[in-house]
Amino acid sequence: MSGSSMDGLDIIHTTIEEVAGTWSFTINHSDCIPFDEKWHASLPRLTALTGKELLLAHTEFGRWMGNVIHDFIIKNHLEHKVHLIASHGHTVFHEPQQKMTFQLGDGASIAAINRLPVISDLRNMDIALGGQGAPIVPIGEKYFWNEFHYFLNIGGICNITMHQENKHIAFDICPANRVLNLLCNELGKSYDHDGVEAAKGSLNEDLLNTLNDFEYYQKPYPKSLSNEFGVDIVFQKIQQFAISNQDKLNTYCEHIAMQIANVCPAEAEPKKMMITGGGGFNQYLIKRISFYLKNKNIEVFLPEQNLIEYKEALIMALIGVLRWREEQNALGSVTGATRNSIGGALWMGQD
Phi/psi at 90 (5° precision): -120, 120
What percentage of the chain reaches a pLDDT higher than 90? 91
CA 227, chain centre distance (Å):
11
pLDDT tens digit sequence for 289-343: 999 999 999 999 999 999 999 999 999 999 999 999 999 999 998 999 999 999 9
Same domain, 279 and 318: no
Q: What is the dihedral of CA 63, 68, 74, 78, to 10 degrees?
A: -90
Q: Is residue 4 very low, low, confident or very high in pLDDT (cuts 50, 70, 90)?
A: low
Q: Is the pLDDT of residue 191 over 90?
A: yes
Same domain, 180 and 292: yes
Q: Is residue 183 very low, low, confident or very high in pLDDT (cuts 50, 70, 90)?
A: very high
Give a yes or no: residue 2 inside a domain: no
Give a yes or no: residue 67 inside a domain: yes
Q: What is the dihedral of CA 287, 276, 152, 26, to 10 degrees?
A: -140
Same domain, 152 and 296: yes
Give pLDDT, residue 227: 82
Quickly count: other Cβ atoms within 10 Å of residue 297's Cβ: 14
Same domain, 275 and 167: yes
Same domain, 118 and 195: no
Same domain, 288 and 190: yes
Closest to 126 (Cα-Cα) out of 297, 319, 300: 319
Give a yes or no: residue 295 inside a domain: yes
Give a yes or no: residue 105 inside a domain: yes
Three-state SS for the chain is CECCCCCCEEEEEEEEEEECCEEEEEEEEEEEECCCHHHHHHHHHHHHCCHHHHHHHHHHHHHHHHHHHHHHHHHCCCCCCCCCEECCCEEEEEEHHHCEEEEECCHHHHHHHHCCCEEECCCHHHHHCCCCCCCCCHHHHHHHCCCCCEEEEECCEEEEEEEECCEEEEEEEEECHHHHHHHHHCCCCCCCHHHHHHHHCCCCHHHHHHHHCCHHHHCCCCCCCCHHHHHHHHHHHHCCCCCCHHHHHHHHHHHHHHHHHHHCCCCCCCEEEEEECHHHHCHHHHHHHHHHHHCCCEEEECCCHHHHHHHHHHHHHHHHHHHHCCCCCECHHHHCCCCCECCCEEECCCC
Give a yes or no: residue 277 inside a domain: yes
Give pLDDT, residue 291: 98
Domain encompassing residue 21: 9-133+310-347
Give a yes or no: residue 142 inside a domain: yes
Give pLDDT, residue 6: 73
pLDDT tens digit sequence for 19-60: 999 999 999 999 999 999 999 899 989 999 999 999 999 999
pLDDT tens digit sequence for 255-302: 999 999 999 999 999 999 999 999 999 999 999 999 999 999 999 999
Same domain, 93 and 164: no
What percentage of the chain reaches a pLDDT higher than 70? 99
* Average pLDDT for the chain: 95
Same domain, 44 and 188: no
Rounded mean pLDDT, 97-115: 97
Q: How many domains does the chain have?
A: 2
Same domain, 46 and 152: no
Max CA separation in the chain (angstroms): 62
- CB-count burial class (<10 Å; 0-12, 13-18, 19+) for 36: exposed
Same domain, 57 and 185: no
Give pLDDT, residue 5: 64
Same domain, 153 and 164: yes
Give a yes or no: residue 1 inside a domain: no
Give a yes or no: residue 283 inside a domain: yes
b vs e for 106-139, b when ≥16 Cβ sit within 10 Å of the residue's Cβ?
Answer: bbbbbbbbbebbbbbbbbbbbbbbbbbbbbbbbb
Give pLDDT, residue 145: 94
pLDDT tens digit sequence for 208-250: 999 999 999 999 988 989 888 999 999 999 999 999 999 999 9
- Identify the CATH number of the domain in which residue 104 sits: 3.30.420.40
Give pLDDT, residue 83: 98
Same domain, 98 and 182: no
